[in-house]
């Protein structure tokens, strides 16, 4: 038995001795992940080295504060791994500063927002009031400052155009703490219209312009977005959570690389970047001191075991093989999109040039919810997603979002993604909308044709068998 098999088998025995049901669910999760076509655009498979780094005693250590300046004693080893993660991130992305403490993408965005507010609003306030620290402000000044912080303008991409809910959408705190507004995409092409964004920025005059997306299947010109932000003195913040792997792998370079153009860049580490579940922030030197205040300003104590795993993942992403992987992710998305188009399916923006393909399933007479469920029954794991001006709203939706990072990690190539398109189209063609219990039209229920799920499972299993997840990992 190889080292990884033996390490995990023994670890599961240790867990089973305390709570066997957790050990069993963990084994089953591996089996389930191995047995399905994972096409969720925000998921991937981290390496055993990354996964194992998360399972250590670093989890037991409190380390609030920053490298070398902790609120707890005994953080010398946490300092080592946090500095390694930050150093690898700086080198990987060519950024002036990296902050690796955020626990998730939402935490990274919230930390970035407060850091920008601290830099742009609180800093000048303190200077005007002639005090060094917020705690030294008078009660009256405090009151006024609170009002100003809470009334800043934020402009981001709208959710149904592909933006993320943390970009000012109402159910998220960003939509409540800011005076927010959104830019969309061209109603005809579904593409970003930079002139329209520029006009909206001139009219709305945001303090923060957010670029980045979680469901837009195209590249963004960040040099143009910076020009637009500069036209009103806004801070450009780019959320690259989805495409960080394509930036790290040098698929997005020049104007498409956000790091040289944005003041602040936020990200997750677990999507196309293939690291542990977590977040991080890159920034210019100018913003670094306020981002560095993330914990305890916004964040709870850093997860030292995850920061250690970020260091391992970023080291992996600095290897040449990661560039090959990232290019394959983009090439496979092209193959998937072409595969859909040649079978008559409708795509938002008519294609892709990143890792996302957004299929408009209304052409199959289905809602996103119905399509997502029918695909899941057939062993194809995706998620439903709004399309621009979606008549079915954000819950039922009219779209299915596909992503190539996970199956590319398993070794799927061009022809296999064409076959995936074939299977998806076959399932959706053979799915009919169902009815409610009372017999009326339903946006959720569906009827899958006889034998379709079994046939698709069998075809998927054949492909998956050629590309085992974690080859050589055999649990005993």
Residues 6+ apart with CB under 8 A from 404: 39, 41, 329, 330, 332, 333, 336, 355, 357, 412, 417
Q: Of residues 208-237, which lie at the interface with ligand DSN (CB under 6 A)?
A: 214
Q: Of residues 37-56, which lie at the interface with ligand DSN (CB under 6 A)?
A: 42
Q: How big is the chain by its Cα radius of gyration, in Å?
A: 23
Give dist(CA 472, CA 474) in Å, integer: 6
- Residue appearing with tokens 């002139």: 195
Q: Cβ closer to ligand DSN: 190 or 403? A: 403
Nearest approach, Cβ of residue 181 and ligand DSN (Å): 21
Q: Cβ closer to ligand DSN: 111 or 304? A: 111
Q: Of residues 415-434, which lie at the interface with ligand DSN (CB under 6 A)?
A: none
Nearest approach, Cβ of residue 103 and ligand DSN (Å): 13
Q: Cβ closer to ligand DSN: 88 or 164? A: 164
Give dist(CA 8, CA 14) in Å, integer: 10
Q: Of residues 329-348, which lie at the interface with ligand DSN (CB under 6 A)?
A: none
Q: Cβ closer to ligand DSN: 65 or 403? A: 403
Q: Cβ closer to ligand DSN: 212 or 302? A: 212
The residue whose Cβ lies closest to ligand DSN is 42
Q: Cβ closer to ligand DSN: 42 or 404? A: 42
Give dist(CA 72, CA 440) in Å, integer: 61
Number of residues that bind ligand DSN (CB under 6 A): 4
Q: Cβ closer to ligand DSN: 42 or 392? A: 42
Q: Sign of the CA dihedral 204, 209, 213, 219?
A: positive
Nearest approach, Cβ of residue 421 and ligand DSN (Å): 21
Nearest approach, Cβ of residue 26 and ligand DSN (Å): 22
Binding pattern to ligand DSN, positions 93-122, x when CB under 6 A?
Answer: ------------x-----------------
Asked whether position 382 contacts ligand DSN by CB under 6 A, the answer is no
Taking alpha carbons only, the member of 387, 355, 382, 356 closest to residue 371 is 382
Q: Which positions touch ligand DSN (CB under 6 A)?
A: 42, 105, 164, 214
């Amino acid at each position: 038995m190889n080292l990884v098999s033996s390490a995990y088998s023994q670890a599961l025995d240790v867990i089973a001795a305390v709570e066997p049901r957790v050990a069993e669910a963990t084994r089953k999760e591996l089996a389930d992940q191995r047995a399905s076509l994972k096409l969720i655009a925000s998921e991937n498979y981290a390496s055993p080295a990354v996964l194992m780094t998360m399972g250590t005693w670093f989890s037991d250590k409190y380390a609030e504060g920053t490298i070398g300046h902790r609120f707890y004693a005994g953080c010398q080893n946490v300092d080592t791994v946090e500095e390694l993660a930050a150093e690898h991130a700086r080198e990987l992305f060519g950024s002036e500063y990296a902050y690796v403490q955020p626990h998730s993408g939402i935490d990274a965005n919230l930390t970035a927002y407060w850091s920008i507010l601290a830099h742009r609003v609180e800093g000048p306030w303190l200077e005007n009031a002639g005090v060094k620290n917020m705690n030294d402000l008078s009660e009256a000044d405090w009151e006024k400052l609170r009002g100003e912080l809470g009334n800043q303008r934020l402009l981001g991409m709208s959710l149904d155009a592909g933006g993320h809910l943390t970009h000012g959408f109402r159910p998220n705190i960003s939509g409540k703490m800011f005076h927010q507004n959104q830019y969309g995409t061209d109603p005809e092409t579904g593409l970003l219209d930079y002139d329209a964004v520029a006009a909206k920025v001139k009219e709305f005059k945001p303090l923060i312009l957010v670029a980045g997306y979680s469901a837009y299947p195209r590249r963004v010109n960040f040099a143009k977005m910076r020009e637009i932000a500069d036209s009103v003195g806004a801070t450009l913040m780019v959320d690259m959570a989805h495409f960080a792997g394509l930036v790290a792998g040098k698929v997005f370079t020049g104007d498409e690389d956000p790091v040289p153009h944005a003041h602040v860049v936020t990200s997750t580490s677990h999507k196309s970047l293939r690291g542990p579940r977590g977040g991080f922030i890159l920034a210019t030197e100018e913003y670094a001191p306020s981002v560095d205040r993330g914990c305890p300003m916004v964040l709870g104590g850093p997860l030292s075991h995850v920061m250690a795993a970020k260091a391992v993942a970023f080291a992996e992403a600095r290897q040449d093989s990661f560039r090959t992987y990232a290019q394959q992710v983009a090439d496979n998305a092209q193959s998937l999109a072409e595969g859909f188009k040649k079978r008559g399916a409708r795509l938002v923006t008519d294609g892709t040039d990143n890792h996302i393909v957004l299929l408009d399933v209304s052409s199959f007479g289905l809602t996103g919810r119905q399509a997502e469920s029918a695909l899941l029954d057939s062993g194809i794991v995706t998620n439903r997603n709004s399309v621009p001006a979606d008549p079915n709203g954000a819950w039922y939706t009219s779209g299915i979002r596909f992503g190539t990072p996970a199956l590319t990690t398993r070794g799927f190539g061009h022809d296999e993604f064409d076959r995936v398109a074939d299977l998806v189209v076959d399932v959706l063609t053979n799915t009919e909308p169902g009815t409610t219990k009372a017999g009326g039209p339903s946006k959720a229920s569906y009827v899958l044709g006889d034998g379709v799920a079994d046939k698709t499972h069998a075809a998927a299993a054949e492909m998956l068998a050629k590309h085992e997840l974690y080859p050589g990992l055999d649990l005993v």
